Amino acid sequence: MVGPSRGFGGVQASGAGGFATSLKKGGGRSLFWSEVTVQGRPRVLVLDAVADRYGWEAEATQRIAASLVRRDIPVVGGAPVVVAGADDITTAIKSAHDFNCIFLAARADKSPSAGECWSALQASLSGETKLFAMCTWDSADPDISSEVLVGEETFAPVAVVQQEPMTGRGASLFFMKFFAELDMHSESTNSMSGKMVWFGHSKAREIMRRRRYAGRVGLRS
């Protein structure tokens, strides 16, 4: 089990404006955070768009959701919501109550693709503000990742998005650690700032390096 760390490590925030960075080793880091704040501690709608319901991806998504529940991080319905296309995503959004984060598990190369899911979420959540996390397992779509991280019209001004193929264990470790850190550090303010999202991303990146998992997850905060 991956536990949260303690403290922000003395990082000083300044300025405003979104930015995107990645966890690739040796990459530079900006110290500017968005002024956008998502209200509340994480309350997560987990969407599973992987078509193979008997594959390892579905099981891994269930484990991630179960890990959040064990840590008292609310998951809508207590389990992933299976979606097979845009209509299902629209229905899931309308049916869910009181969530401020979306964790999407999809594949870049199969229907519904990560790109199709992103477009459906953009249409369903226009005008709203949510934290968005996207896992594409051992596939990746650089164009969609870039759109999520730098696009101007978005419901997700704070986001973490997989940019390169990763193993199931590596991806699961990253996102479980990210949400654990984010929940702990949002407790005192009952909100999620760009700085907190950056810190959660940094701690998830750190544990991946320590355990020698390869991969790249982009950050918009």
Q: Write down the domain spans for the chain.
A: 36-220
Indicate the pTM of the whole model: 0.86
d(CA 66, CA 85): 24
Q: CA angle at residue 180 from 140 to 177, to 5 degrees? A: 40
Q: What is the pLDDT of residues 99-120, one digit of tens each?
A: 999 999 999 988 999 999 999 9
Sign of CA dihedral 183, 217, 170, 56: positive
Q: What is the pLDDT of residues 35-94, one digit of tens each?
A: 789 999 999 999 999 988 889 999 999 999 999 999 999 999 999 999 999 999 999 999
Report the pLDDT value the prediction gives residue 23, as an integer from 0 to 100: 36
Nearest to 91 by CA among 111, 76, 78, 105: 76
Residue matched to tokens 């459906």? 120
Length of the chain in terms of residues written: 221
Q: Which two tokens stand for residue 215?
A: 């991969």
Residues 6+ apart with CB under 8 A from 2: 67, 173, 176, 177, 180, 207
Residue matched to tokens 């594959």? 55
Q: CB of 195 within 8 A of CB of 202?
A: no
Edge-to-edge strands of the sheet including 131-135? 20-21, 217-220, 158-162, 131-135, 101-105, 44-48, 81-82
Q: Which of 14-28, 83-97, 145-159 has the lowest mean pLDDT?
A: 14-28
Q: Is 8 exposed, middle or buried (0-12, 13-18, 19+ CB in 10 A)?
A: middle
The arithmetic mean of pLDDT across residues 114-132, rounded, is: 97
**Domain 36-220 belongs in CATH node 3.40.50.2300:** yes
At 3, the pLDDT band (50, 70, 90 cuts) reads low
